[in-house]
């Protein structure tokens, strides 16, 4: 019987250099997409999937991230006295109960695999999820929920995957597919950022459900592509050991909010998805498009 996934790791130790100067003083993960920080989208997705324990791998300068999930008693009291119950309800979704959230420091930037390895003692011998907050996925049901439902049937380890243009595969971990079963593929191997001849155009996206043996693989702390400890390599070790790894073609749209263009695209998509913003925002976008065409 496949054990239920109730723990999730959020690697949030990165410096966010692509968003300087904004990230000089604020963690990238609390930059706002419409009116919620990136980290809130990941937390909401994890909660919807039944995650109960949230493990953040942080670094120096991430104090604002920790404060975001704490109770803001003065603000809450002010809103309560003002009768602003709708805003109080919004705040309630940002609060994390005592004991539900843990913070682990990654003292050296040694790659995603190392960041995940930092949480090994809190994961112990259970399967666990990993969510990368740069990847914001608009899907119904949420991507991680789709994965957990599929993982209950397959067991093993599972990565979220999507098709990308072949000339873009060098920016991703890429699946070598042993068997294509439609939504689910059985994986023969993984290649991290192939410079040429990628085994497929199925890229690994920032959602994972991993067997506890992946942590044992990470214990070797082998350096891979770019001199970093790659999570992809630890997952590939699972296949070498004869353990199952699957990819799930999730239903939904993924936005790379680690890039400025992707962040802007996500802002448009999530803004238009909000009923109270759609009409006014759409009118503005149509006006911008019309002016752009007139100027050509």
The CATH code of domain 7-258 reads 3.90.550.10
Tokens of 218: 């990470």
Q: For the residues of the chain, what is the DSSP string, one character each?
A: -PPPP-EEEEE-----GGGTTGGGTS-GGGSEETTEEHHHHHHHHHHHTT--EEEEEE-TT-HHHHHHTS--HHHHHHHHHTT-HHHHHHHHTT---TTTEEEEE--S---HHHHHHTTHHHHTTS-EEEE-TTEEEE-SS-HHHHHHHHHHHH-SEEEEEEE--GGGGGGSEEEEEEEE-SSEEEEEEEEES-SS--S-SEEEEEEEEE-THHHHHHTT----GGGS--HHHHHHHHHHTT--EEEEE-SSEEEETTSHHHHHHHHHHHHHT-HHHHHHHHHHHHHHHHHHHHH-
First to last CA, the chain: 62
**pTM value?**
0.88
Determine contact, residues 198/161, Cβ cutoff 8 Å: no
pLDDT in tens, 32-72: 999 899 999 999 999 999 999 999 998 877 777 777 777 77
Confidence of residue 223 (pLDDT cuts 50, 70, 90): low
Instruction: Write down the mean pLDDT value for the chain.
Output: 88
Q: What is the mean pLDDT of residues 203-224?
A: 86
Tens digits of per-residue pLDDT, 114-162? 999 999 999 888 999 999 999 999 988 999 999 999 999 999 999 999 9
């Amino acid at each position: 019987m496949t054990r239920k996934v109730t723990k999730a790791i959020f690697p949030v130790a990165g410096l966010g250099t692509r968003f300087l100067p904004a990230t000089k003083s604020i963690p990238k993960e609390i930059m706002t997409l419409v009116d919620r920080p990136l980290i809130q989208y990941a937390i909401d997705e994890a909660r919807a999937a039944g995650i109960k324990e949230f493990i953040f791998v942080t670094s120096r300068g991430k104090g604002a991230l920790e404060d975001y999930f704490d109770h803001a008693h003065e603000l809450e009291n002010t809103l309560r006295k003002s009768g602003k119950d709708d805003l109080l309800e919004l705040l309630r979704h940002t609060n994390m109960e005592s004991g539900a959230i843990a913070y682990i420091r990654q003292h050296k930037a040694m790659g995603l695999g190392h960041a995940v390895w930092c949480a090994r003692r809190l994961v112990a011998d259970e399967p666990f999820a990993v969510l990368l907050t740069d990847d914001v996925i608009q899907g119904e049901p949420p991507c991680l929920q789709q994965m957990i439902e599929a993982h209950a049937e397959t067991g093993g380890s599972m990565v979220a995957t999507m098709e990308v243009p072949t000339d873009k595969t060098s920016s991703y971990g890429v699946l070598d597919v042993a068997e294509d079963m439609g939504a689910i593929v059985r994986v023969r191997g993984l290649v991290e950022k192939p410079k040429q001849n990628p085994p497929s155009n199925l890229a690994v996206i920032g959602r994972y459900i991993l067997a506890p043996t992946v942590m044992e693989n990470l214990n070797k702390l082998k350096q891979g592509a770019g001199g970093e400890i790659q999570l992809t390599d630890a997952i590939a070790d699972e296949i070498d050991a004869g353990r199952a790894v699957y990819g799930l073609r999730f239903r939904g749209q993924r936005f790379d909010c680690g890039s400025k263009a992707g962040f802007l695209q996500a802002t448009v998509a999530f803004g238009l998805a909000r009923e109270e913003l759609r009409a006014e925002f759409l009118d503005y976008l149509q006006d911008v498009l019309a002016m752009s065409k007139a100027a050509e």
